[in-house]
Structure 1
Amino acid sequence: MQRDDLGELLSEVEGYIGGLFSPQDHALEAALEESRRAGLPEIHISPAQGRLMQFLAELGGARRVLEIGTLGGYSAIYLARALPEDGEMISLELEEDHARVARANLERAGLDTKVEVRVGDARESLDKIQASEEGPFDLVFIDADKEAYPEYLDYALRLTRPGSVIMADNTIWGGAVMDDSDEEGSALHEFNRRLASEGRLSATIIPLLRERVDGLAVARVI
């Protein structure tokens, strides 16, 4: 069976993978519905990507997770489900309204005791985490303002240890990372370039199938 529309094919393939390996349960479906009802932007990760991230967190035995960019808590549910009983996660969100939705979604999923959503500018929150020596974290997931990705990488390196995993969403950005005129794409390209050249990291980008091509950067601190 062939498809003339590449975007349609990508969507169907992603749906096929998600349907097999990440069927949506009540908590995940409700998180999406409540986020839509609250007017949050529909820029959450896909079910297939969520399952991939959960799998990588499980594979690495993550016990402490830091997420930069909460939105409605959809990705936080996947990551928190990878944690052991005594695991913990901090998720940073700029907007109080988004954080309120995320907290409710995490509570519905039975994960509110594992995940703390902190509100404020991510840089300020990261400075406080570093100053209070709350690290190191076993996994850091970056999915926030794209222009700040290179800066977030600096924080991630300071807040992890050898063996920790750093992941970042949107690292292909529909091909914009190869367009010098695109401000967000240029910042993401700089993030990718540094990820590839940083001697403390072993890294790659996993292409993602969405309505457009995107990527999940995955790096291990060595």
Structure 2
Amino acid sequence: MSKSEIWKNVDFYFNDKLHTSDPIMNSILKANSEAHLPAIDVAPNQGKFLYLLAKLKNAKNILEIGTLGGYSSVWLGRALPEDGHLITLEFDKKHAKVAKENIKMAGLENKIEVIVGPALETLPTLKEKGVHFFDFIFIDADKPNNPHYLKWALEYSRPGTVIIVDNVVRNGEVTDEKSEDLSVLGVRQFTDLLSAEPRIESTAIQTVGLKGYDGFVIGVVKE
């Protein structure tokens, strides 16, 4: 049995034993597939991990950069209290339409707001909407812009804000100094910025499973 088969089997085992999915979440993945969205949603166990982190943080205001079909949006939305709110930013109009339908199906349309357009254009407008900070920020969008997303995440943070960035290992390619892949370059530039940023404490975790070999960065804002 190959390593990737072992990783998948372990995910299947824990997903079954620890109930990391349910009919609604399965329906969202089915809707995304039928709409021919890229199959790049977080895995079920990763979605529940995000949910648990947001619960541990007692997050009331969440920002997500990169909606796709709303799978991770719903996981995070489920962690919110009754008066909580999540803003998720999506570039693609088709993806946003599917996401809105999935969010409504999950009964979270009153908690989750989908904003359509390039994130670097919509992020500045949040201040006009009266948004000053978020408790929890999840970045899972186009990797070349990760350095810019980090700057905006810090702009909308306060001490204690949790920032998570997905897909930072890139199957190990993040260590390739000669890589010309724009996603790898974006992650490396993001990591360099993070390394020099005194306002945040952070670490990186490598992951394996249904989505192959990758990882994420998690940080907590200090000041």
Output the TM-score relative to the length of structure 1.
0.94
Residue type at the aligned position of 1:215: G
> Could you report, residue by residue, the CA deviation over 1:86-119 in whole angstroms, capped at 9, with x for unpaired residues?
0000000011111111011111111111000010
Which is worse superposed, 24-33 or 125-134? 125-134
The alignment's C-alpha RMSD in Å is: 1.3
Counterpart-to-counterpart distance in 2, 1:176 and 1:71: 24
> Given residue 47 of structure 1, which amino acid in structure 2 is its aligned partner?
P
Unaligned ranges ≥5, structure 1: none
- Identical columns (%): 40
Among candidates 55, 64, 74, match of residue 52 of structure 2: 55
Which residue pairs with 1:21 in the alignment? 18
Unmatched tracts of structure 2, length 5 or more: none
Residue 82 of structure 1 deviates from its aligned partner by 0.6
Q: How far 1:187 moved relative to its partner?
A: 1.2
Q: How does the TM-score come out when normalised to structure 2? A: 0.94
In the alignment, is residue 190 of structure 1 matched against residue 181 of structure 2?
Answer: no
Name the CA distance, whole Å, in 2 between partners of 1:108 and 1:132. Answer: 26
The answer on whether the counterparts of 1:21 and 1:51 sit within 8 Å (CA) in structure 2 is no
Mapped partners of 1:113, 1:132: distance in 2: 16
Partner SS, residue 198 of structure 1: coil
**Counterpart secondary structure, 2:168:** coil
Partner of 1:102: 99
**Residue 206 (structure 1) aligned with residue 200 (structure 2):** no
| Residue identity matched to 1:218 | I
SS of 2:127's partner is: helix
Report the number of matched residues. 219
**Structure 2 counterpart SS, 1:44:** coil
Q: Are the counterparts in 2 of residues 71 and 99 from structure 1 also a CA contact under 8 Å?
A: yes
Write out the 4+ residue segments of structure 1 that deviate beyond 3 Å after TM superposition: 130-133
> Whole-Å Cα distance in 2 between the matches of residues 167 and 21 of structure 1?
23
Counterpart of 1:39?
Answer: 36
Q: Measure the CA separation in 1 of the matches of 2:33 and 2:63.
A: 24
